[in-house]
């Protein structure tokens, strides 16, 4: 069989497989991709993951179908010990390869950048001065990491601090993630939030929970002997339930609030008489 026929036949098989598999991947796998629909940002990540999977599907099919095609049609005949013809390069194939892969990578970079900006950081830490901010009111919540627990401070409710993370559904939350000691990482998987918690850094994250739920909170940065135990659950509740809960927290932790430092974007814990 001539080389040209192989190329045409392989191309046709790959094209048909791509036309069938890609929509199936989008329709069947897309909805079950992580991290779920716990927030607008999490839903956005499902969209992004679906797009990436759809773009990766033709590439995967290209590799797998070529492997199978080669096994079937280019296998060495039994008993023969033949050397194949020397390969001297093919300008057309090389150019196509470079153009296609470069286009894919650049398209991904553009898509990722646009999505990151359009979704105000897409649930990731944007540093102390985010490039874009969502419009409208936002509820600031400070996430304070230390070895080995997270606590949460609500500056618009008297600066009360609590060991529990509770958020109102349907409201834009402005998380301020920081650390009092080593590097941690605040990871609220179902909300699509992951942000480094660095000492002396205010890492801002925007997230809008879409429904009442319980979500996991983990540290995602190896931070010492009890890193694995730095695990808890947060809750998204109705706005009315949130108001009731936060006022209860204000009352419960009133003694601690009196000895807390004024709310700040970061803290420099003192004294450190033992360490230094």
Give residues in contact with another protein (CB under 8 A): 144, 146-149, 151, 161, 163, 180-182, 224-226, 229, 232, 252-253, 255-256, 258-261, 269-276
- 57 and 21 in contact (C-beta within 8 Å)? yes
- Minimum Å distance from CB 201 to another protein? 16
Q: What is the C-alpha to C-alpha distance for residues 34 and 56, in angstroms, rounded to an integer?
A: 17
Residue whose CB is less far from another protein, 115 or 265: 265
Token pair of 49 as six digits = 């993951």
- Minimum Å distance from CB 245 to another protein? 15
- Minimum Å distance from CB 235 to another protein? 15
- Minimum Å distance from CB 207 to another protein? 23
Q: What is the C-alpha to C-alpha distance for residues 66 and 244, in angstroms, rounded to an integer?
A: 62
Residue whose CB is less far from another protein, 52 or 180: 180
- Minimum Å distance from CB 158 to another protein? 13
Residue whose CB is less far from another protein, 106 or 256: 256
Residue whose CB is less far from another protein, 144 or 195: 144
Cα 109 to chain centroid distance, Å, stands at 15
Token pair of 164 as six digits = 């529990």
Nearest to 139 by CA among 205, 212, 188, 196: 205
> Taking the CB of residue 73, how many other CB atoms lie within 10 A of it?
11
Token pair of 122 as six digits = 């897409």
Residue whose CB is less far from another protein, 51 or 182: 182
Asked, as a colleague might, if the bond just before 123 is cis with ω within 30 of 0, I would say: no
């Amino acid at each position: 069989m001539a080389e040209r026929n192989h190329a045409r036949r392989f191309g046709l098989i790959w094209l048909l497989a791509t036309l069938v598999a890609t929509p199936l991947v989008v329709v069947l796998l897309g909805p079950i991709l992580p991290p779920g629909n716990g927030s607008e940002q999490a839903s956005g990540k499902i969209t992004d993951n679906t797009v990436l999977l759809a773009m990766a599907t033709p590439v995967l099919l290209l590799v797998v179908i070529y492997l199978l095609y080669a096994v079937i049609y280019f296998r060495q005949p039994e008993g023969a010990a033949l050397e194949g013809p020397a390969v001297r390069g093919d300008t057309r194939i090389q150019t196509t390869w470079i153009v296609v892969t470069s286009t894919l990578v650049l398209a991904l970079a553009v898509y990722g950048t646009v999505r990151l900006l359009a979704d105000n950081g897409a649930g990731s830490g944007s540093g102390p001065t985010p490039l874009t901010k969502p419009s409208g009111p936002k509820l600031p919540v400070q996430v304070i990491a230390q070895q080995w627990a997270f606590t949460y401070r609500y500056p618009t409710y008297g600066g009360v601090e609590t060991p529990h993370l509770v958020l109102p559904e349907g409201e834009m939350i402005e998380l301020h993630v920081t650390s009092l000691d080593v590097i941690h990482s605040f990871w609220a998987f179902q909300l699509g939030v992951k942000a480094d918690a660095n000492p002396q850094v205010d890492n801002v994250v925007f997230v809008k929970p879409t429904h009442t739920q319980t979500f996991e909170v983990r540290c995602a940065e190896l931070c010492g002997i009890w890193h694995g135990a730095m695990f808890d659950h947060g809750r998204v509740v109705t706005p009315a339930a949130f108001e009731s809960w936060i006022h209860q927290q204000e009352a419960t932790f009133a003694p601690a609030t009196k000895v807390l430092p004024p709310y700040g974007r970061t803290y420099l814990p003192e004294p450190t008489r033992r360490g230094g």
